[in-house]
Structure 1
Amino acid sequence: MTRSNFMLAATAALALSGLAPIAAHAATADELMTSRLGTTTADPAIVEAIGRAAQPVTPELRAKALECWNNNGCDTGTGGAVSVAYADGFGENVWRRVTAMEFIQQALTYPEIGKIQYSSARGDASKAISDLRSYIAQGVNVIVIFADHGAALGPTVREAKEAGIQVVLHNGTEVGTPGTDYLTNIAENICQLGKDFVKAVREGNPEAKSIVALGGVPGNTLSSTWQDCADQEVKSFDGLGILGRIDTNWTQEGTFTAVSTALSQYDKIDGYIYEYADGFRGAVRAYQQAGHKLDFVAALRTDEQGLFCDWEKANDPAFKIYYSSGQNFQSRFALTAAMMAIAGKSVPARIDVPFKMKPAVKGLCNPALPMEMSVSTMVDAETLKAMFAQK
């Protein structure tokens, strides 16, 4: 794709997406669906969740959400009988913190929810299991899990199901069998995401030969799933290959180290594929520190605006970014699916979240908002400012 064609596509993508740095609740539910998912057709749980997300955030709701977020839980003040919990396998980056706020704000749209809890296992499988057992012992009604530790959580997840708890996984993590071992699994087609990463690299550079696949914490099933599918997709393109996989721990510093290592090992890298846009800012620094030109295509899942600001500042036509969506809002979909089940509604074993890759375009960077902000988040701008003030 030529530079002029890339920019035409990028401009069209921005116009169609409606993704300017946001005040999410200025949009209707249909507008949110179109801009975040690329469609207004989706599973009923997603439709209902976005309808709730489009409700105005009052100052009182914002204050309560920030209380819950800062204290890893709260009494909602409604007197509701339902207790919900979010069990995060690794909550120590901005993407995870925004995802937690999505869950909290969604919970506050339900007056029947009286208690919200949050925990991070900090990447420790034994703590992840302990967190789940604590929630089971407390008798919570819902547990939404970012299951970084995969199969290790299986017995405890089944224990929660047997205790009558509605358990939902999201964002490509896998444990056991959804619909049998727990209520449902909510995600994009993670395999297709890996394939689309590869297609985006070749779209951005039809002559691309070499790709580095960056992943998150070691052993996580999200990264390994899309990476396996990317390995298969490169076989569809003559002369294209994946040089290797390198873990980043989903942090900027981890990504800086990973890309610095890649630059020392490989003579030419035409593309990077990775889940985490904010983490990829570390890759930009690695190139700059090494004195290398930003001459590659990055195909990314998330869309934190700091990377788009770096891209605008670099102003280099050889540096191209394609991205999907932050998908922070999947925690909203997960909670709503669980609440639908509690209300007696049918919930499928898997809920597919639509997505579409698109090229970055100028206008996605808004210095007035936190650099860590996902341009597709459904958390309102004022809450985001408060979350990341002086951080």
Structure 2
Amino acid sequence: MIDKQRRVPAAGAVVITAMLAVTGCAAKKNDSPNAANVEAVYSDQTRVGEVNQLKSIQEFCGSKPLKVALADGTGDNAWRKTARAEFEDEARKCSNLTVMPYSDAQNNPQKAISDIKALVAQGADAIVVFPDAGEALLPTLREAFKAGVAIVPWTANPGGTPGKDYTTFVGHNTINDGRTWARWTCAHLGDTGGNVLFLGGTPGNTQSTTEIKGVEEEFAANPACRNAKLLNEPGKPIDTNWNPAQTQRVVAGLLTKYPKIDAIISDSGDGSLGGLRAFEAANRKLPLWTANDLNGFACEWKKRSAQQPDYNIVTVSSRTWIVRLALRKAVAAKQGITDGEPEIINIPIYEDSFDKAKQPRCDPALPSNAILSAELGPEQLKSIYN
């Protein structure tokens, strides 16, 4: 078992207007009847567990030859590239698994639907899906499941019902992540408090919408947050597509709108690099910042912290390795083997610039995009981004 404990003037107004329009799309998805189902997943303690409960895929390979596939909603960032490498690495551990060609829907819901249908038509036995399109994918997931495919959405919950619409859902406890980030932020803002913004990913994705729920819960319940102000509209992440260039544009608009920003709660280390560039271009002091771990994010902290000692960061693991759990669940289901691993994983803090035992990890020999909490070796990490 790998130790994962150590393993984001007028022109600005245009950006803000566009950003809020996109955020509105996310709100519509989160207000749907399935929103309650999504949130209930993270509250069901029979499904939630810790990283030390995860197992080896060798227990679930079985004997039947299987075709397995990864269907991605978008593949244009470091996180998705790393997750793809983890999926393929995990599949190689079972000699009876054949990995089908990777599908990237390029953030197009209709293409995501077509990609899954095509994989089913090509004989896929097990498909792991990142459902960026949310509930729009449910009929397609259900159709594949009823056709006998073991289909496991991961990280972004599409709603629906496991065992009826798809095999199961696996992911990390996104509400817990939101609370972790908010707790750290409030503790280090101190009694003076300050203005806080939450940056999410693609419009309507349930990862970001449940993370902001955790942030809001912590702000409401934690006395240390009494003077901290979350500037987002209730329940609405600010969409960035988890893309550094778009995050830079969005944050540039936010800096125009808000003369004082004391903390950024982001769920992307990769996207956060663009946000940092926006602060630098505006000649603004860097705030407290949360994210998922990324080599470049840690290296930026090391580079800037000496000049800006108040700039501090915390990360949780980027948990690209959860795609391995999704594959194990899909393979076990198709082989008829019981997989008792938890489906929802509580992710611990990975780096904390305030904690001498968890200092941000910067490896200059690896690309900025490298995710050091991945279950991949240095050479594998280098090859991903070439």
Q: What TM-score bracket applies, with the shorter chain setting the length?
A: 0.7 to 0.9
Give the gaps of 5 or more residues in structure 1.
1-28, 53-78
Length, aligned pairs only: 328
In structure 2, distance between residues paired with 1:125 and 1:350: 29
Matched with 1:239 is 227
CA contact (8 A) 1:278 1:305 kept: no
Matched, 1:336 2:328: yes
Matched, 1:215 2:200: yes
Q: Describe the shift of the 1:91–1:177 C-alpha distance in structure 2 as closer, same or farther (beyond 3 A).
A: same
Q: Describe the shift of the 1:115–1:260 C-alpha distance in structure 2 as closer, same or farther (beyond 3 A).
A: closer
Matched with 2:296 is 306
TM alignment of 1:1-391, pairs within 5 A: 29=1, 31-36=2-7, 41-42=52-53, 46-49=54-57, 81-206=65-190, 207-236=192-221, 237-244=225-232, 245-294=237-286, 296-300=287-291, 302-315=292-305, 316-347=308-339, 351-357=343-349, 358-360=351-353, 362=359, 364-389=361-386
CA contact (8 A) 2:51 2:347 kept: no
How far the C-alpha of 1:387 sits from its partner, in A, is 2.4
Q: Describe the shift of the 1:230–1:288 C-alpha distance in structure 2 as closer, same or farther (beyond 3 A).
A: same
How far the C-alpha of 1:170 sits from its partner, in A, is 1.1
How far the C-alpha of 1:118 sits from its partner, in A, is 1.0
Q: Describe the shift of the 1:187–1:312 C-alpha distance in structure 2 as closer, same or farther (beyond 3 A).
A: same
Q: Describe the shift of the 1:171–1:312 C-alpha distance in structure 2 as closer, same or farther (beyond 3 A).
A: same
Matched with 1:69 is none
In structure 2, distance between residues paired with 1:346 and 1:180: 18
Matched with 2:38 is none
Identity %: 32
Query: Aligned with 1:97: secondary structure?
Result: helix
Pairwise CA RMSD: 2.3
Query: Aligned with 2:212: secondary structure?
Result: helix
Q: Describe the shift of the 1:350–1:178 C-alpha distance in structure 2 as closer, same or farther (beyond 3 A).
A: farther
Indicate the structure whose relative CO is greater, using CA pairs within 8 Å and at least 6 residues apart. 2
1:353-391: CA deviation from partner (whole Å, max 9, x where unpaired): 1311241355611111111011101121112212223xx
Using the size of structure 1 for normalisation, the TM-score is 0.79
CA contact (8 A) 1:179 1:348 kept: no
1:45-98: CA deviation from partner (whole Å, max 9, x where unpaired): x3224999xxxxxxxxxxxxxxxxxxxxxxxxxx97310010100111111011
CA contact (8 A) 2:82 2:320 kept: yes
Instruction: Give the letter aligned to residue 101 of structure 1.
Output: A
CA contact (8 A) 2:263 2:288 kept: yes
Matched with 1:17 is none
Q: Describe the shift of the 1:230–1:308 C-alpha distance in structure 2 as closer, same or farther (beyond 3 A).
A: same
Matched with 2:39 is none
Query: Aligned with 1:41: secondary structure?
Result: helix
Q: Describe the shift of the 1:118–1:40 C-alpha distance in structure 2 as closer, same or farther (beyond 3 A).
A: closer
In structure 1, distance between residues paired with 2:302 and 2:72: 33
